Amino acid sequence: MKALFALSLTSKSMLEPCLDALWSSMVSARPLFNIMIPLKTRAKIKKGNPSYHEFLDLVRLLDNANRMTRFYYYANRVKALQVTSGDVDVLLSRALSSQSARANPFLPNLQYIYWPDDKIISLPCIPVLAGPQLMALSLHITAWPKKNEGLLYATFSSLRQACPLLYYLEFTANEDLKWKDINWQFALAFSALFNVTSVKFTCTPSFDTLICLSKMPNLQVLVAKFAPEEPFVWDNVTPLKFPCLRNLRWAAHTVSDAMIFLRRLRLPGRNREIEMFRMDCVLCNPAELSSFFDTLRETCSMQKLSSFLLRVFKWDEPSGTAVNQGPPSSILHPLFEFGNIQNLQIWYFPVELDDALLAAVSTAWPTLHMLQLWIRRPQLRSKITLTGLMTFVRQNRHLVYLAVDIDSWPDDMPVPPPLPAHGVSDTEPSSSKLSVIIRQALTDHLEVVECEKQKAARIQALRRIFPNASAVDYECYN
């Protein structure tokens, strides 16, 4: 930022581009508010509510044409804004809210708002500041009193009317809040802003909130980032509609709970055309994985699903070790029937990984773009070898990202076959953007220290194995 400011002083021709860059993304709203209403002209707020004449003085300042001309000189450049706690006090909030009938918003080119200030008095300022260019809103929710329901609905409704391009909503909340204290606010927001196409939230919703989400006619992307502490509470019959859902990330307490969710998503007589699917499971019983993949196959279109991510946090087994369900390629067999997978990421899968799995993946999805396979240590070992990875990369010409766990570093490094005299062969990867990350699990801290000393040499060895990779990294951990 200092460099941009210095550059803006070197030439008049550089002033406007530098100002655009400086003001396009504001990490605090205070500089803007200080231009709008200089600090020296603002009354100091004492304890209690400000007096009426203090509020009136502030409104008059907002109507000062000369001052607002200077404000708009900067405000028109703002495209992203963060409003933190303390940026909007009681007096300023009331003054801004009084301008709700203005023909033009204060920030006409604003596209993204991050509003972590959860004071209820500040929320009506959002539709006053934002305008027709707003596309994304991130809002921090807290346990607001139920008596403010009318104010919240009016705020969200004003946003829908003032911001026709708004398509993305993100709601965050403190981890210690219980869903029962804030879910009515989710439902209120989704019912007022029903036209958005993408929703993300970070706490467990109630079933009523989920039903409200499923009725949104244009919702295509649903991202739920949370770790449920107990199974979801379902009713007996109500299905989930989601008429336009394409991208889904969900979290379940158990694999069984994940299967219930998938069954509720089923459409009568046809499969859902979900393109990207991610499931985070807190507890995973390996014996249920085969049924989970069967349920996924019965719910989602075999031709449309192109991205599959599965993350497991814990194994639900008394022994703490994986149940021997056979080779990983056989467990994942139902997944191989999805013919268009381009992104496969499986984290801490409760089976041992091997080169046979790589071969099966290569055969099933010849156009695969991304592969990530992390394994949980110390319960399991990865039997994937560098030789297997080298073969896999040479067979998958579309691969751009590879991140895999290995268990040991070989004494004899595999040597890639020489290139033909005329150049790159048909088996060589065609992409020059391939990124490779190899992780090695070690048993103790001393091994990690020794491994770090060899990291640079091992990265160079990996570069020889993957000559077409633009980025190669090697990590060791215990």
- What pLDDT, in 10s, does the model give residues 117-159? 888 888 888 988 888 999 999 998 888 888 999 999 999 999 9
Instruction: Report the predicted TM-score, pTM, of the whole model to 2 decimal places.
Output: 0.83
Residues 328 and 375 sit within 8 Å (Cβ to Cβ): no
Residues 126 and 159 sit within 8 Å (Cβ to Cβ): yes
d(C-alpha 131, C-alpha 74), whole Å: 16
pLDDT in tens, 254-298: 999 999 999 999 888 788 999 999 999 888 888 888 889 999 999
Residue 329 in tokens: 């390629």
Residues 107 and 77 sit within 8 Å (Cβ to Cβ): no
- Most confident by average pLDDT, 53-67, 180-194, 242-256: 242-256
Residues facing 359 on adjacent strands = none
Residue 338 in tokens: 């999805």
pLDDT of 176 strictly over 70: no
Domain boundaries, the chain: 1-134, 352-413+432-477
Q: How far is CA 204 from CA 115, 247, 262, 279, in A?
A: 21, 18, 17, 14
d(C-alpha 323, C-alpha 285), whole Å: 8
**Share of residues in the chain with pLDDT > 90 (%):** 35
d(C-alpha 101, C-alpha 95), whole Å: 12
Q: How confident is the model at residue 100 (pLDDT cuts 50, 70, 90)?
A: low
The stretches of 37-145 forming alpha helices (DSSP H) are: 52-62, 65-75, 90-97, 125-129
Mean pLDDT of 109-118: 91
Q: How confident is the model at residue 51 (pLDDT cuts 50, 70, 90)?
A: low
Q: What 8-state DSSP symbol labels residue 121?
A: G
Placement of tokens 């592969």 in the chain: 371
Q: Which is higher by pLDDT, 423 or 395? A: 395
d(C-alpha 203, C-alpha 205), whole Å: 6
3-state SS, residue 185: helix
Range scoring the smallest mean pLDDT among 13-22, 159-168, 180-189, 397-406: 13-22
d(C-alpha 140, C-alpha 302), whole Å: 37
Long-range contacts of 30-33 (CB under 8 A, 24+ apart): 30/87, 31/74, 32/71, 32/74, 32/75, 32/78, 32/81, 32/107, 33/87, 33/88, 33/92
pLDDT of 56 strictly over 50: yes
Residues 232 and 226 sit within 8 Å (Cβ to Cβ): no
Placement of tokens 């196409």 in the chain: 197
pLDDT for the residue 33 = 77
Mean pLDDT of 215-226: 92
Mean pLDDT of the chain: 81
